[in-house]
Amino acid sequence: MTDLGATARQASATARLEWLLVGLGVAGLLAAPFFLYPIFLMKIMCFALFACAFNLLLGYTGLLSFGHAAFFGGAAYFCAHAVKDWGWTPEAGILLGTVGAALLGLVMGFFAIRRQGIYFAMITLALAQMFFFFCVQAPFTRGEDGIQGVPRGHLFGLVDLSQPLNIYYTVAAIFLIGLFAIWRIVNSPFGMILRSIRENENRAVSLGYSVANYKLAAFVMSAALAGLAGATKAIVFQFATLTDVTWQMSGEVILMTLLGGIGTMIGPAVGATLVVTLQNTLATSGFPVTIATGLIFMICVLLFRRGIVGEIYAKLPGIKK
């Protein structure tokens, strides 16, 4: 009974700590635009959501995709085209980008999940490159020029997104909704099955689960959330270009996830913050950004094998991932 009571008190203390950290994080988001450049903060949130969406597939399902840039950049194109050329409202454009990324994920996932390991990764890379060349040649993407001058418009016809604080808090709300969706997926029976597939796929099959269907569902969910990040980025920066659909972008999101910590809820967001901050800080200096990022990645691999947040969790075993 004493052990049960101690365990219950520890769980209660952990829950209070988690809610306290959540409250501090939300308060920090609300206050941040008064101290830091809002565009910089919105870029961090877009890439943090992208990395967390990727982590849903890699960290919780065990599937390494080299083609997630297709969903991120594809959603940006879909949203930018709908808002600029069709005159859609920003919320409708973001919804179209998210749905378009989910459908693209359904098609790519249908072929990719038939293989495992490196073969799965190579199939996703090949399919993403096919989509990249489609974006190069498709008329609506405008090739190397991209879609520029995308109007931010009015959210629900009421909120003027051309105002910095309005667009910032809109992006913050989308970011929090995306994180909550990932948290809810991970902490549901569906998420537990995904973890069992990651740990021992053969055991999951022996228990009667349709592993292929669960993998495909996880792939589509991850693609949709990556698309939500990409569509939001198109509204924030008012353009969509080929940069967002290149294989380098897929590699960048993998780097963000590894730096922060695979299989942790906030680790990819921390990794994205680190990478974006480095890019922003070193952009005007003479020091190459890629070299700095590579050096930090090497240090993290040598000293923080589980990633930054992963190492913190390892030191504090009472904290949930």
Domain annotation covers residue 15: no
Domain annotation covers residue 153: yes
Who contacts 289 (Cβ-Cβ below 8 Å, separation ≥6)? Answer: 278, 279, 282, 283
Residue 1 pLDDT level (bands cut at 50, 70, 90)? very low
Query: What's the confidence (pLDDT) of residue 44?
Result: 93
Query: What's the confidence (pLDDT) of residue 12?
Result: 59
Q: 39-67: per-residue pLDDT in tens?
A: 999 999 999 999 999 999 998 998 999 98
Q: In the block, which residue shows the tokens 């040598």? A: 302
Q: In the block, which residue shows the tokens 């005159």? A: 87
Give the Cα-Cα-Cα angle 239, 245, 249 (nearest 5 degrees).
105
Neighbouring CB atoms inside 10 A of 117's CB total: 10
Domain boundaries, position 55: 37-245
Helix, strand, coil % in the chain, rounded to nearest 5? 75, 0, 20
Give 159's strand partners: 155
Residue 32 has pLDDT above 50, yes or no: yes
Q: Looking at per-residue confidence, does 124 or 21 come out higher?
A: 124
Neighbouring CB atoms inside 10 A of 51's CB total: 30
Query: What's the confidence (pLDDT) of residue 17?
Result: 60
The token duo for 14 is 């952990």
Beta 154-155 vs 147-148: how paired, if at all?
unpaired
pTM over 0.75: yes
Burial of 1 (0-12, 13-18, 19+ CB in 10 A): exposed
Q: What is the number of structural domains in the chain?
A: 1
Domain annotation covers residue 312: no
Domain annotation covers residue 77: yes
**What's the whole-number average pLDDT of the chain?**
86
Domain annotation covers residue 13: no
Of 129-138, 201-210, 288-297, the one with minimum mean pLDDT is 288-297
Distance separating alpha carbons of residues 65 and 124, to the nearest angstrom: 6
Who contacts 315 (Cβ-Cβ below 8 Å, separation ≥6)? Answer: none
Domain annotation covers residue 253: no
Domain annotation covers residue 258: no
Residue 13 has pLDDT above 60, yes or no: no
State the average pLDDT over residues 91-120.
92
Residue 96 has pLDDT above 90, yes or no: yes
Residue 215 pLDDT level (bands cut at 50, 70, 90)? very high
Of 89-93, 103-107, 192-196, 277-281, the one with minimum mean pLDDT is 277-281
Domain annotation covers residue 91: yes
